[in-house]
Amino acid sequence: QKEVEQNSGPLSVPEGAIASLNCTYSDRGSQSFFWYRQYSGKSPELIMSIYSNGDKEDGRFTAQLNKASQYVSLLIRDSQPSDSATYLCAVNLGGTSYGKLTFGQGTILTVHP
């Protein structure tokens, strides 16, 4: 079992729809969770961080964390073609908040007009 797992997709949604991206992680003691967006040929760009159970909203993005189920998700409302990218889930595994991030392999999202 991988330490951080994502469905590699591709996930295709129509413009204006909600895109739902999912991530599971192996270490129950993990404390810090991040979503990054990566356009082809570019470096990862931070979208959101989440540390507590529940939902965290920032504009069209909502991150959801369920530590009991070891599950973190990202919802993108009113999806736009410019949202087409690879979305990376990253976790500080273990009980520390600093140090290395462990990434999933990324989910490719395509938003079609």
**Residues in contact with another protein by the rule CB under 8 A:** 4, 8, 32, 34, 36, 42-46, 49, 51, 88, 90, 92, 97-106
Distances (CA, A) of 48 to 23, 32, 51, 56, 60: 14, 11, 10, 9, 11
Q: How far is the CB of 78 from another protein (least distance, A)?
A: 25
Backbone phi and psi for residue 31, each to the nearest 5 degrees, phi listed first: -120, -30
> Using CA atoms, how far apart are residues 20 and 13, in angstroms rounded to an integer?
10
Of the pair 99, 113, the CB lying nearest another protein is at 99
Q: How far is CA 62 from its chain centroid?
A: 10
8 Å CB contact between 87 and 96:
no
Q: How far is the CB of 43 from another protein (least distance, A)?
A: 4
Of the pair 36, 62, the CB lying nearest another protein is at 36
Q: How far is the CB of 106 from another protein (least distance, A)?
A: 5
Of the pair 76, 106, the CB lying nearest another protein is at 106
